[in-house]
Structures are given as structure tokens and as C-alpha cells.
């Protein structure tokens, strides 16, 4: 990676780590040298398309902490496929109402400044 330098803090995936895309880190031999993990770029962690080098973390980033926790990457997503006949779901409010009905959770009213 072009940005490698002494003192750089970067994400490190140890053997057994699972990266996005079902990529599991295994012990391997690269160029005749045993590898016990992988230094990660933002693209390998699927947090950016940028692949110019390793993902640089701030100098005060804690060593040994899970990068998902540090970067607050653990989140939930819902993939929605809408058909044109569901005009009621073409707004954020309509979609929220539908999701609340599907998951049987109360829908909180949205505060709007008049």
C-alpha cells in the first residue's frame, strides 16, 4: 500500500475475522512468508470505494478495539423493493408506516415545524 509508514494506525483483520462479502481471514503464505492476518483498506471493509491504500485511523484511535465499534459501523438496513402501484410508500412517511406495520412496532409521529 502506498501510504504505509511507521506509526500509522490501521484496521487489522486477524485470522478468523470475517470481512464483508463472506471473506474469511485464514493463515496463508505470501511470497514465502507466513501471514497471520490482513491490513485493511476502506474498500476491503466496504465503507468506501476508495482503494488508494490502507484505511488510516486517527492517532488517538484505541489499539485492539473492534473497528466496527470504533467507526460505529454496526447498523441495521432494510432493503425495500417497491412496485409502482404502491404510491402510499413513495414517501418516507408512507414507507415508515408500512415498515411499522410489517414489524408490528408503533409508528412515532413526526414533528413538523409549521
Q: Write out pLDDT tens, residues 28-62.
A: 999 999 999 999 999 999 998 888 899 999 999 99
Residue 29 near residue 35 (C-beta atoms within 8 A): yes
Whether pTM > 0.75 for this model: the answer is no
Please enumerate in sequence order all residues whose Cβ is within 8 A of that of 68, keeping only pairs 6 or more positions apart, or say none: 74
pLDDT confidence band for 88 (50 / 70 / 90): confident
- Collapsing DSSP to helix, strand or coil, 17 comes out as coil
For the chain, which domains are there?
A: 1-72 (2.40.50.140), 76-114 (no CATH)
Amino acid at each position: 500500500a502506498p501510504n504505509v509508514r511507521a506509526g500509522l494506525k490501521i484496521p487489522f483483520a486477524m485470522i478468523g475475522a470475517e470481512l464483508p462479502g463472506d471473506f474469511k481471514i485464514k493463515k496463508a503464505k505470501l511470497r514465502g512468508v507466513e501471514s497471520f492476518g490482513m491490513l485493511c483498506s476502506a474498500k476491503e471493509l466496504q465503507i468506501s470505494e476508495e482503494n488508494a491504500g490502507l484505511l488510516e485511523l486517527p492517532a488517538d484511535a484505541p489499539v485492539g478495539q473492534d473497528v466496527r465499534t470504533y467507526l460505529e459501523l454496526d447498523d441495521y438496513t432494510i432493503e425495500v423493493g417497491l412496485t409502482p402501484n404502491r404510491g402510499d410508500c413513495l414517501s418516507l412517511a408512507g414507507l415508515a408506516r408500512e415498515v411499522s406495520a410489517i414489524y408490528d412496532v408503533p409508528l412515532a409521529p413526526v414533528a413538523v415545524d409549521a
